[in-house]
Structure 1
Amino acid sequence: MNLDKYFHPLSPCSLPIIQSSDTSTDAVVTNSSIESETSFVNASLLNDAMGQEFVIPVDRLLRAEYIKYGPIRLKLPNNSYPQTLFHGKMRAFQANWYISRPWLEYNKYNDSALCFPCRVFGSALNKYDRTFVEDGFRQWPHALEKNRGFDKHSKSENHSMCMEKWTSYLHETPVDVLISEDMKKALSLANKERQSRKDIVYLLIGVVITLAQLNLPFRGHNEGEVSANKGVFKGIVELISRYHPPLMIHLQKGQANPKGYPSYLSPTSQNEMIQYSAEILREDIIENIQIAHFFSICLDTTPDIAKKDQLSIVVRYVNINGEIIESLLDLIEVANCTAVGLVTTIVEVFSKHGLLIESLRGQGYDGCATMAGRYNGVQNLIKVKNPKAYFVHCYAHRLNLVIIDTCKRNVITRNFFGIMQKLYAFIEGSTKRHGLFKDIQMKCYASQGEGKKIGTLKSLSDTRWSSRAEACQVLLENISVLLKVLDSIIYDGKYDSGIASDAFSLSKCIDFQFCLCLVTFTDILKLCNIISKYLQNEDLNISSASLHIESLISTLQGYTTEAYFDQLYLQAEKIAENIGVTYSEPRHRKVPTRLDDSEHHVPIVLTGKERMKEQFFNDVIELIKEALQSRFSHETMPLLKSIECLNPPKAENIQDLRVLASYYIGDFDADLIEYEYKLLAKLIELSNIGKIGIHKLYLYMVKEGIAKLYPNLNILYRLILTLPVTSSACERSFQH
């Protein structure tokens, strides 16, 4: 995690001046310090243009650096300086002239000699020899003549004054340079402190992220220094400080100066660290989405503890490795939960994060009218903005609705789950009765060893998808214990008559019919629950989801056999015998015609094995199959008809490919993709790759480099894998 951009670097002007004890330098003008081969390599720091290294900087600090580096004394190999014709002879500058002349420098741009101290200090004294300061000396034959050339210049009064000024300058460090050195020291100390605090913040952010991942609360009720429980965040930080000396020192500084030293432990700091961490993660997510180009969204809303609606926005895309990624993009409060209000919020979020709605290729919501409404729902309003944003009704929600529909449409089933809910409310609605249920379990299971887990009755829920399967399983395992609890309440004088009467009524409801319903739904719901949990995988693709729904329908079709019902009936008989329930053929009561207005109506009490099979078991299986086929048919999602042409590609499925391509006009070359499809189909055939699933096939294509060879097919596979399957990720975001 890179947080550097949140730590602003300090500028020298923002630092206090630290007085230095060393206010002078020992620099002197010597042959070793000035006669060094100085071509002023760092002149580029002052002037980048060619020849500009002879321009003296105006800035005082840069001028000090310029003087520090001294004359520009260029030495060319083999004295290969430019030659000039003088009186029939070629003459040139000589490198040995530098010896004993520390002031001498050479300008390669106009082939001339200059005097460094006169150039630098002469203009300030308004006294200088123009030849050795501006024009440059080029009379090479007279350079060494007495009272001419170098000799004449070195003996001049102006030169002597400039040399003295140069020597004094190097002995006495300028005030602004001293200030600069103090600032450097201050900046160094400040940077060390800054780095130390930065390391502390990194550590604290690690604690923040860990608590967030574990879904743990941050703060305690009383976070004062003397509090025994300061909350999870401060507790963990103090624990780490025992083994991390820098953190211990940091905490001690904060305690010693709570108003002047930032401890980064306040609620505000915690919120900022959470916010910054989220921003950095979100930036990575957005960058990956933009690389993927196409993406889909899943939305869901829920009220928080303050009764304010929170909107969860999850994005789904395929990364460069072919992996399906679902990430939480934003969790925001919404004041307007109408379809128009939600769409407005989505557009604003896209705009804020730099995402284009034109790149949206899928929508995944539950089936409520606000979200899935054909005309005024969110899905249609977004389709108006982008027709390619294909809507998928959440598969997990649809499967849950299948179970709910079945429970409502069959009388026996509806009554069975009604009794189950009353049993839950009766036992778990009282700590005393719950304790009795637990105690009797412990006594009954004591002989079975420690492997038997104490169970708790589960409540039924239309929104928690696995609730019915869990409730049936717990009740099946503890039905004998439950009856003992009811009998204990009925015959124990400690309970009042109302409670005892309720216990008596509930015990009478647990008859053979109830036992048969219990074993039947425990088995069926286990099957459905496996598929439901599979549908909640974030890397699931729509093709695989459809195949699993088809497998569920096929499996339920096999349940209609005589042998399977006999197996369930025998199991119900054993349970009934174990709990002391005997089956008796009751008098069949005819339902009045005025009440018999349901096409799925069956008698309240069944009389006989065959009637139970036909009017209860077979009816339930048919209702589930009918609901599955209705909610998951290709007619409800036409795109599904053509997707299987990619799993795997086959030449005879070219027409399905054309239909599939029609949903994504403009995203790839519709003509060229057919040629790629035929080539890939042949390659898959020769490679003996069977029907391994669209996602696994695409991962294989990416790994082997095949996806790059067929760019249009590559896009189509990514588009299909981008389609959402469920909105489970939104549900998980509310939980965590």
Structure 2
Amino acid sequence: IDESVRAYWAERGPESCQNMNVGFQASERAYKHQKCRFSKSHFKRKMLNGEYIERPWLLYSSSTGAAFCFACRIFSNANTQSNFETGFSHWKHATERMREHENSEHHRKAMLTYVSLAAASGRIDTELQKQFESECSYWTEVLRRVVSVVKFLAERGLALRGASDKFGRTDNGNYLGILELISEFDPFLKSHIEKYGNAGSGKPSYLSSQTCEEFIQLMGDCVLSEIVSEVKMAKYFSISVDSTPDVAHVDQLTFVLRYASPEGHSQERFLKFLPIESHTGEALCATVLKVLEEMGIDIANCRGECYDNAANMSGVYKGLQAPMKELNPLVEWVPCAAHTLNLVGVNSVNCCFETADFFQFVQNLFNFCSKSTARWKVVTDGLQPNANKRIETLKSLSNTRWAAHADATQAVHINYANIQKSLKNIVNDTNQNAAIRNEARSHKLETAFMCTFWHSILQRFEKASAALQSVELDLCTAVDLVGSLREYIGGLRDQFDRFESQAKKLSPTVSQAYRVTGRRSKTPKTFVGESATSTKVLHQCFVVVVDRLLSEINHRYIAYDNLNNTFGFLNNFSGVTVPELRNKASHLQSKYSADLEMDFVEEIVQFKDFIR
């Protein structure tokens, strides 16, 4: 067999000569007490977890009544030939011999040769595109335009209907309006609208609101059905749920599934909104199980669950993850990367009075300036552009979006002196009443210190949070991001003097002494060169916040690190030695012994060589 023959079959593949649908009478062999023959079931291999995997390499010859290996017959370079190259016909032990053959080193090398040649010819992972019919009927053309308009509006979340259902009116909504717009450039649609647009009931036009709503429902059903089919084909999946109230004050549970496509790409699909009344872990679990049961998706194939860090979702004992883990021990809980740093920041702010007071000051400052156009102009005119020649105006905090704290703090930090100067101008304005003057004077060293301290932290948090929300984020990167943030926070404990020095330099008019408010407490011991108030800020505020931040991050980091120890090597073959790879693969196979064959370890090692 020369290279031209191999190239020909690499492009054509084994499908044309497998002979899966012929009779197998010629393969019948008589043994001592029974007769055996080749069976169509031999073209599939039953895995340990119950899945059936195609054997694309297996060929059947009607003339000889024997089975052959497509890859070994054409692409093998071995000196010795196996039975599947010369013709296998020992059907009594066919299943065992086929399994032994496809796990042999001889067969795997032949398959690698075939796959490499097939990939070079562009045959792998391609599907023939179905050609559209050259001619379509009149009503098919009408419906094609209707579907396009409905899909366009649905993708963008735009309203379809208006106050009127009549063509020619300006209040007939987006659906009819876009059809009218298209008809200006489409003679076919223009003719149809003129003939059937306002024909009235009893005359079909397929442009009515009823047709529109039917297509919306059909499209939704088709999309949902396709997602469920993909999940079942992938078999293994993970779930992600979260709840939020809608505009009607009904709590809606968002249900999302994540799975792998046949090409190996991760897919994350929204399924539906579910109105809920109870937020307990048991009630949420019952809702999740009900949805999966309705769709025919087996919870036994669930391998992951991802929620925010709320107690009713991620709580070890009473959160949603607990009953899910009890139903299926193989379900791994993954903290939501997008919510992780949000919860870390929120919990850390509430641990210290001075921190809460600082962010209240930031919000009050925004409210104070934004409530008056005159005050807003005074403050804004005094701001200087940043490095990007862009003026950072004052910004409001957000109850749900922690990144807003970074933006608001940065706006105050980079223009601290200018804001102080603008506030002083407002104070000196005799037209302002006493309340406004008192609010304008609300600045002290504690505020400058907190501004410097939190600005440094929040800028790192914002960058890490943005990276953690990336669609292409993988587990190893998430662990590295959270780990680097943990190291950064841990190194801040000895940086009090640096932050204090920077705070005093923020503005020439900033107070050089602390005036700490809050609960009375025992004054800690001071050392030479330290003031009592400085030590109080250090021990009751700075250290408390740093320790709380570190504790919150450690809690999330441990969860990610445990997952990375189990699965991380799958994203980093090049950085793992073969012995270490065998050890990690063996650990993964033993953990998922019902899903992974014993050959998994050797397959992983061979895969490392293949992608090298």
| Partner in structure 1 of residue 503 of structure 2 | 572
Cα pair distance change 1:224/1:444, threshold 3 Å: farther
Cα pair distance change 1:220/1:522, threshold 3 Å: farther
Cα pair distance change 1:266/1:509, threshold 3 Å: farther
Aligned length: 469
**Equivalent of 1:322, from 264, 289, 305?**
264
8 Å CA contact 1:412–1:616 kept in 2: the answer is yes
8 Å CA contact 1:585–1:607 kept in 2: the answer is no
| Partner in structure 2 of residue 508 of structure 1 | 441
Cα pair distance change 1:487/1:628, threshold 3 Å: same
**Cα displacement string for residues 572-625 of structure 1 (whole angstroms, at most 9, x for unaligned residues):** 344312xxx2323367899745xx59x9xxxxx986878766765555434322
**Equivalent of 1:465, from 398, 402, 406?**
402
| Partner in structure 1 of residue 179 of structure 2 | 237
| Partner in structure 2 of residue 546 of structure 1 | 479
Secondary structure at the residue paired with 1:509? Answer: coil
Distance 1:632 1:221 in 2: 54
1:253-272 to structure 2, matched below 5 A, reads: 253-262=195-204, 268-272=210-214
1:310-389 to structure 2, matched below 5 A, reads: 310-389=252-331
| Partner in structure 2 of residue 22 of structure 1 | none
1:152-163 to structure 2, matched below 5 A, reads: none
Cα deviation, residue 478, structure 1: 4.9
Unaligned runs of 5+ residues in structure 2 are 1-135, 525-529
| Partner in structure 2 of residue 281 of structure 1 | 223
| Partner in structure 1 of residue 377 of structure 2 | 439
Cα pair distance change 1:382/1:486, threshold 3 Å: same
Secondary structure at the residue paired with 2:350? Answer: helix
Distance 1:312 1:230 in 2: 32
1:652 equivalent to 2:583? Answer no
**Equivalent of 1:197, from 130, 138, 142?**
142
Cα pair distance change 1:456/1:513, threshold 3 Å: closer
**Cα displacement string for residues 391-433 of structure 1 (whole angstroms, at most 9, x for unaligned residues):** 22323323222212221223332221121222234344x3xx1
Cα deviation, residue 637, structure 1: 7.0
8 Å CA contact 1:445–1:452 kept in 2: the answer is no
1:673 equivalent to 2:611? Answer no
| Partner in structure 1 of residue 567 of structure 2 | 643
Cα pair distance change 1:470/1:677, threshold 3 Å: same
1:309 equivalent to 2:236? Answer no
Cα pair distance change 1:225/1:487, threshold 3 Å: farther
Distance 1:543 1:340 in 2: 32
**Cα displacement string for residues 304-339 of structure 1 (whole angstroms, at most 9, x for unaligned residues):** 111222221111112222222211122233355443
| Partner in structure 2 of residue 411 of structure 1 | 353
AA paired with 2:393?
A: G
Distance 1:528 1:447 in 2: 23
Cα deviation, residue 675, structure 1: 3.4
AA paired with 2:487?
A: S
Unaligned runs of 5+ residues in structure 1 are 1-190, 600-604, 684-700, 707-736
Cα pair distance change 1:414/1:447, threshold 3 Å: closer
Distance 2:318 2:334 in 1: 16
Cα deviation, residue 291, structure 1: 2.4
AA paired with 1:532?
A: S
TM-score, normalised by the number of residues in structure 2: 0.66
Cα pair distance change 1:224/1:362, threshold 3 Å: same
Cα pair distance change 1:387/1:325, threshold 3 Å: same
AA paired with 1:641?
A: N
Distance 1:571 1:231 in 2: 58
Distance 1:220 1:565 in 2: 64
Secondary structure at the residue paired with 2:200? Answer: coil
Secondary structure at the residue paired with 1:575? Answer: coil
Secondary structure at the residue paired with 2:253? Answer: strand
Secondary structure at the residue paired with 1:474? Answer: helix
Cα deviation, residue 527, structure 1: 0.6
Cα deviation, residue 511, structure 1: 2.3
| Partner in structure 2 of residue 729 of structure 1 | none
Distance 2:448 2:409 in 1: 11
| Partner in structure 2 of residue 517 of structure 1 | 450
Cα deviation, residue 668, structure 1: 0.9
**Cα displacement string for residues 85-113 of structure 1 (whole angstroms, at most 9, x for unaligned residues):** xxxxxxxxxxxxxxxxxxxxxxxxxxxxx
Distance 1:467 1:447 in 2: 20
Cα pair distance change 1:480/1:277, threshold 3 Å: farther
Cα deviation, residue 262, structure 1: 4.9
AA paired with 2:446?
A: Q
Cα deviation, residue 256, structure 1: 3.1
TM-score, normalised by the number of residues in structure 1: 0.56
1:629 equivalent to 2:560? Answer no
Worse-matched range after superposition: 240-249 or 315-324: 240-249
| Partner in structure 2 of residue 474 of structure 1 | 411
Cα deviation, residue 525, structure 1: 0.7
Distance 1:246 1:211 in 2: 26
1:664 equivalent to 2:589? Answer no
Question: Percent identity, aligned pairs only?
Answer: 25
AA paired with 2:307?
A: Y
Worse-matched range after superposition: 581-590 or 281-290: 581-590
Cα pair distance change 1:218/1:534, threshold 3 Å: farther
Cα deviation, residue 655, structure 1: 4.5
8 Å CA contact 1:438–1:454 kept in 2: the answer is no
Distance 1:393 1:358 in 2: 21
8 Å CA contact 1:365–1:371 kept in 2: the answer is yes
Secondary structure at the residue paired with 2:507? Answer: helix
| Partner in structure 2 of residue 392 of structure 1 | 334
8 Å CA contact 1:205–1:277 kept in 2: the answer is no
Cα pair distance change 1:587/1:298, threshold 3 Å: closer
| Partner in structure 1 of residue 156 of structure 2 | 211
1:593-632 to structure 2, matched below 5 A, reads: 593=521, 616-617=541-542, 619-632=544-557
8 Å CA contact 1:606–1:612 kept in 2: the answer is no
Secondary structure at the residue paired with 1:313? Answer: strand
Cα deviation, residue 299, structure 1: 0.4
| Partner in structure 2 of residue 148 of structure 1 | none
Secondary structure at the residue paired with 1:520? Answer: helix
| Partner in structure 1 of residue 233 of structure 2 | 291
**Cα displacement string for residues 544-592 of structure 1 (whole angstroms, at most 9, x for unaligned residues):** 3112111212233444566x963x5555344312xxx232336789974
Cα pair distance change 1:262/1:415, threshold 3 Å: farther
Secondary structure at the residue paired with 2:316? Answer: coil
8 Å CA contact 1:559–1:565 kept in 2: the answer is no
1:401 equivalent to 2:332? Answer no
| Partner in structure 2 of residue 71 of structure 1 | none
Distance 1:588 1:290 in 2: 61
Larger radius of gyration: 1
Distance 1:587 1:610 in 2: 12
**Cα displacement string for residues 96-152 of structure 1 (whole angstroms, at most 9, x for unaligned residues):** xxxxxxxxxxxxxxxxxxxxxxxxxxxxxxxxxxxxxxxxxxxxxxxxxxxxxxxxx
**Equivalent of 1:252, from 173, 179, 194?**
194
1:702-721 to structure 2, matched below 5 A, reads: none
Cα pair distance change 1:530/1:565, threshold 3 Å: farther
Cα pair distance change 1:270/1:518, threshold 3 Å: farther
AA paired with 2:152?
A: V
Secondary structure at the residue paired with 1:419? Answer: helix
Distance 1:494 1:240 in 2: 59
Distance 1:261 1:456 in 2: 60
